[in-house]
Amino acid sequence: MVWDWAFVWEILPDLLRGLRITVQATLLGTALALVVGLVLALLRRSGIRAVSMAAGAFVEFVRSTPLLVQLLFAFFAQPILGVRLSALVTGIIVLGLHYATYTSEVYRAGIEGIPRGQWEAARALNLPPRRTWTGVVLPQAIPPVVPALTNYFIAMYKDTPLLLAIGVGEVLLTARVIGSATFRFLEPITMVGVLFFLVSYPSALLLRRLEARFARSG
């Protein structure tokens, strides 16, 4: 018999403990990505050419290079910068910044999807810039792109195993440790796959329904 169910029940508590770190990293990373992404999107629309170009260059560069490289760079560059963050915090920050480049593109699409008339009406009413954004633009730009943002939430969840490269005890590292100790890799790694699937597949289905609903009302 290749598969040992008894072993599965044995290791499940350890795996779930690792999963808790995975979920933590995903939630905090997403929160960071949502906020920084919006900031990046706004910076790219700045009137000051240097600012918009710098933001644009940052987005293009980060999007085109591997997350893993950025993660390792951030981890090993800390002594040079005189910073000492835990591996988990480092991981969350890198995940957040990396995905912020994706979310900024999504925000941009949402903002650009707003009819010109809205901007003109705000100008005609003499609304101050801050109010134009918070009262008119963003409330219309963000709801249609929520499905796309949720998509990146799911994607980040699937990217958290990369954190094992800097020693974060998330679920896949836990599985590998178990495997190295017991020489049984099949059950731990397969169960990690199952745990990921159990969260991301229903989320994807929910997301599709969300998209259909927004498509209808939008």
Partner 1 sequence: MDLTQISVFLPRLLEGAWITVQVTAFAAVLGLVMAMISGLGRLSERRVVRGVAGTYIEIFRGTSVLVQLFWFVFALPLVGFALGRPWSRWLDLNLLTAAVLALGLNIGSYGGEVVRGAVQAVDKGQTEAAIALNLTPTHRIRRIIFPQALVAMLPPFGNLLIELLKGSALVSVIALSDLLFVAQQIRARTGETTLVFSLVLVIYFVIAYTVTLGMRRLERRAATGLETGRQRTLMRAG
Closest CB to partner 1 among 90 and 151? 151
Give the binding range for partner 1 (CB under 8 A) out of 6-14, 88-96, 121-129, 155-163: 155-163
CB of 200 to partner 1, least distance (A): 5
Contact stretch for partner 1 (CB under 8 A) within 6-14, 23-31, 121-129, 158-166: 158-166
Binding flag, residue 105, partner 1 (CB under 8 A): yes
What does the per-residue mask of binding to partner 1 show for 190-209, with x meaning CB under 8 A?
x-xx--xx--xx--x-----
Among 160, 166, 169, 174, which residue sits at the site for partner 1 (rule: CB under 8 A)?
160
- 8 A C-beta contact, residue 114 and residue 139: no
> Shortest Cβ distance from residue 127 to partner 1 (Å)?
27
> Token digits for 177?
């440790």
Say which residues have a Cβ less than 8 Å from residue 158's Cβ, sequence separation at least 6: 196, 200
In the chain, which ranges are continuous DSSP H helix? 5-44, 49-64, 67-76, 78-81, 87-112, 116-124, 129-131, 138-159, 171-182, 186-217
Q: For residue 100, how many other CB atoms are within 10 A of its CB?
A: 26
Q: Does 68 bind partner 1 (CB under 8 A)?
A: yes
- With CB under 8 A as the contact rule, the residue among 35, 77, 89, 125 that binds partner 1 is 77
Query: Judged by CB under 8 A, which stretch of 26-34, 43-51, 124-132, 175-183 contacts partner 1?
Result: 175-183
Evaluate whether 161 touches 172 at the Cβ level (below 8 Å). yes
- Binding partner 1 (rule: CB under 8 A), the pick from 17, 31, 85, 112 is 112
The amino acid at residue 8 is V
Residue of 111, 112, 103, 108 whose CA lies nearest to 139: 111
Least distance in angstroms from the C-beta of 213 to partner 1: 17
- Nearer to partner 1 by Cβ, of 51 and 179: the residue is 179
Burial class of 5 by CB neighbour count within 10 A (0 to 12, 13 to 18, 19+): exposed
